[in-house]
Amino acid sequence: MRRILTTAFLLLILGTGWTQSGIQRPRLVVGIVMDQMRWDYLYRYYNRYSETGGFKRMLGQGFSCENTLIPYAPTITACGHSSIYTGTVPAVNGITGNTWWDNEQMKTVYCTDDKTVNTVGSTSVLGKMSPRNLLVTTICDELRLATNFRSKVIGVAIKDRGGILPAGHSANAAYWYDNTNGNWITSSYYMNELPRWVSDFNSRKIVDNYYEKGWSLLYPPGSYVQSTTDDKAYEAKPFGPAFPYDLKKWAGKDYGKISATPMGNSMTFEFAKAALQAEQLGADKITDFLAVSFSSPDYIGHTFGPNSVEAEDGFLRMDRELGDFLNFLDAKVGKGQYTVFLSADHGAAHVPEFMQENHLPGGRVFVGKVIETLNKELAEKYHLTGIIVSDDNYQVHLNHPLLDSAKADKKEITRWIISRLQTEKGIDRVFALDDLNRIPLPERIREMLNNGYHPRRNGDIQFIPKPGYIDAYSNTGTTHGLWNPYDAHIPLLWYGWGIKAGRTYRETHMTDIAPTLAALLHIQMPSGTTGQTIPEIIK
C-alpha cells in the first residue's frame, strides 16, 4: 500500500511540472500576434511557404488549434490584443474598441490614451499612452507577480495598442513606432528616457534603407495564382498602380508609408531582436516574456484586401522572416528553451467589389454618412442638434445629457433611429442594446455581442451589416469587426518548450490562450479570466 501511494505521489509531482530542482518553466515566452490574419492564410498559401519558414515549422513541429474563434464582437485590434493576453472578453477587460464614446467625459476615448504621461523618445504627442484603461491583469502581469517582479516583460509593435495592452500594467517596457519621425518610442509610464540600445536603433534610420530598396515581389508575378491581378480599381494605391513599388521619394519625408509594406514587419522583427539581446531576455532561469505584434498585415489588408498580390507577398515574406526569427531564438535562448504562440487579433472581410465581380454577396455601408443624415433629420423632427454623438464599434451612441435636459422621449427617438437604419441596404439587424437578450437572434451572435458589451463603454443601438457587407469609409479596401467567420476565425499555433506536436479541431477561443499559458507556467490566471485551458497542447 505504501509503495502504491508513493508511486502515485511521484506521478502527481511529475505531472504537475515539479522536480527536485523546482518548478520547470521555459526561459522565455514569445507571444506573436498577427494584426489581421485570417485562419485560412495558413493553408491558402501553404504550398508556397518555405520548408525552412516559420509557418510550416510551427504547424509540423508544434500544435495547431484549427478551430479557434473570437468569442465577442466587435472583432477589432485593441479588443483582440487585450483578450488574448487577459484571457477574457471586452465585457470584463473593458477594452471595447480601439475607441469608444465616454458618456461621462462626453468625448471619444482612445484605448491607450493617457494625458498624465509624456512621450519618451520623441517630441510628438504619440507617446502619451499607457495601459490604464485596461481593467484587469494580463498573463504578463501574472508572470511578473509569480516571480516577485524578477521576470522581464517587454511589448513591441508598430501600433501603440499592439505593444501596450499585451504587456500589461507592470511591464518593464512597451515600445511602439512614431510615424512622424521614424523612431521607436515609449512613455513616461514606463521610463523617463530611452535605453541606449533603443536610441542606437533609432539612429540607424533603417526605414530610409527600406525605402531605398523599395517593394518588389518575392517571386515572379505569374506565380501569384492565389491572388487577383495586381492592379484592381477597388484597391487603394498609396505607392502607385502596381508592382514594383518605388519608395525612394518617401525617404526622410514620410515615415508612415512603411507600415503598409512587409518592411514594417522586417523593422518590427529587427527591433524585437534588439530588445531580446539588449535586455538579455531568456538569458537565465527566470522566465521572461516578449510580446510582439505585427501591425503591417493589417495596414496591407485594409489597403489592398485579402485577395491581393500585396497580401500574398506579405505573408510569404512573413513566413521567411518568422523562420529566421525562430532560428534566432534557437541561437540566443537555446533550442527547446522557449515557448512561442502565434495567433491573430482578428481576420478581415473580402473586398466587397471582389465579391461582386465573382457573383458573391457583399457591399459597402457608409455608416458615417448615414449618421450625418440621421442627425439632420432628427434635428428637424425634434429640434435638437447632435442627438447622435458616435457610431463607434457598430453602435449608435445618443447624447444623453442633451436628451435629459430637453426632457425628450428617448424610447421614441431610439425607435425612430432603429426604423430608419433598418431601411439601409446592407444592414441586417438593428435593435436597442437594452433588448439584446429579448429579440430573436442566433445564440452565438447574441453571446458575442454580450461578451463585447461594457455598460460604461458601449452605446444604445446595435447595428449588424449583412454578411459580406462592411462599414466603409471609402470605395477601396476592406475592414473587419463583427461576428462572421472571416472576422472571427483566427490561427492559433504553439511551439517549443512544453508543447506537444499535433492539432485539435474542437472549438477553442482566443481567450483560452492566457489560461493555457498560466497552466504551462504554473502561475495564476489573469484577474478577469473567463477562458479555459487547452490541455491537449501541454506535453
Question: Any idea which residues carry the catalytic annotation?
Answer: 77
> What's 272-328 look like in SS3?
HHHHHHHCCCCCCCCCEEEEEEECHHHHHHHHHCCCCHHHHHHHHHHHHHHHHHHHH
Bond before 442 cis per omega within 30 degrees: no
Partners of residue 538 on adjacent β-strands: 499
Q: Rounded to whole angstroms, what are the CA distances from 307 to 37, 216, 230, 298? A: 12, 18, 10, 13
457 close to 417: Cβ distance less than 8 angstroms = no
> What's 449-468 look like in SS3?
HHHCCCCCCCCCEEEEECCC
CB-based contacts of 95, cutoff 8 Å, min separation 6: 78, 79, 82, 83, 111, 133, 134, 165
CB-based contacts of 2, cutoff 8 Å, min separation 6: none
Closest alpha carbon to 419 in 466, 378, 450, 390: 378
516: cell is: 493555457
355: cell is: 465579391
Give the DSSP H/E element, type plus range, for residue 102: strand 99-102
CB atoms under 10 Å from CB of 89, counted, come to: 29
Bond before 244 cis per omega within 30 degrees: yes
User: In this structure, what are the phi and psi dihedrals at residue 258, rounded to the nearest 5 degrees?
Assistant: -60, -30
Kind of pairing, strands 288-294 and 28-34?
Answer: parallel
